[in-house]
């Protein structure tokens, strides 16, 4: 009993001593993130002021239309890049969020915004057919896993090779 209490006190003491070090590491990351955001905000403000000056120079006749268009495109592309970095800074995305982003990208890339949205070009049905084929493949491979241990088995197996569980007809659909 005394050993158990001593062990608990040792662990509590270690946690008490280690806590400030962990907190410092977290604060250092936060400060670095804040510095990066501050730098991005500064760059954004600089680009905005450059665009205003560019517009003024064009209106006053200092720049030709071609020069104005070229410089304006450059600054706007830089501003877009900075704004994207600002949006991404400080965000911690989960795997679910990343999957949702990829699904939205695919839908927008194929011209479909929603599975129920009709598409005159026929791309919607092509995408649905591809997705259905992938789903069928996944379903077929998922039917070949033991319900006890998760090991994959062959269609003609009667017992799991890992845990020796009998594979019922409900599991072996092939």
Q: What one-character-per-residue DSSP string does 147-167 give?
A: TTT--B--TT-SB-TTT--B-
Is 135 part of a structural domain of the chain? no
Q: Report DSSP state, residue 117.
A: S
* Within a domain: 164: no
Residue 33 inside a domain? The answer is yes
Tokens of 54: 């560019």
Percent of the chain with pLDDT over 90: 14
Q: pTM (2 decimals)?
A: 0.37
Structural domain includes residue 160? no
Q: Domain range spanning residue 84?
A: 1-90
Average pLDDT on 30-35 reads 68
Residue 76 lies in a domain: yes
* 65 is a domain residue: yes
121: buried, middle or exposed (CB in 10 Å: 19+, 13-18, 0-12)? Answer: exposed
Q: Give whichever of 4-13, 20-29, 92-101, 107-116 has the largest mean pLDDT.
A: 4-13
Q: Mean pLDDT, to the nearest integer, of 136-153? A: 67
Structural domain includes residue 71: yes
User: What is the Cα gyration radius of the chain?
Assistant: 30
CA-CA distance, 174 to 168, in Å (whole number)? 12
What digits encode the pLDDT tens for the residues 45-60?
A: 999 999 999 999 999 9
Residue 167 counted as domain residue: no
**Residue 167's pLDDT is what?**
78
Q: Report the number of distinct structural domains present in the chain.
A: 1
C-alpha pair distances (Å), 123 with each of 115, 126, 130: 11, 5, 11
Name the residue with higher pLDDT: 72 or 100. 72
């Amino acid at each position: 009993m005394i050993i158990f209490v001593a062990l608990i006190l040792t662990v509590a003491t270690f946690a008490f001593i280690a806590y400030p070090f962990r907190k410092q590491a977290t604060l250092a990351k936060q400060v670095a993130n804040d510095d990066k955001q501050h730098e991005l905000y500064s760059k954004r403000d600089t680009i905005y002021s450059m665009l205003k000056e560019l517009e003024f120079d064009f209106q006053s006749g200092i720049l030709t239309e071609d020069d104005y268009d070229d410089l304006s495109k450059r600054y706007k592309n830089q501003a877009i890049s900075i704004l994207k970095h600002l949006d991404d800074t400080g965000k911690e995305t989960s795997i679910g969020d990343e999957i949702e982003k990829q699904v939205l990208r695919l839908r927008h890339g194929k011209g479909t915004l929603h599975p129920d949205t009709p598409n005159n070009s026929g791309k919607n049905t092509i995408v649905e057919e591809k997705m259905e084929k992938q789903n069928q493949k996944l379903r077929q491979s998922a039917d070949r896993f033991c319900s006890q241990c998760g090991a994959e088995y062959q269609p003609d197996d009667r017992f799991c090779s890992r845990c020796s569980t009998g594979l019922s007809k409900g599991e072996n659909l092939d």
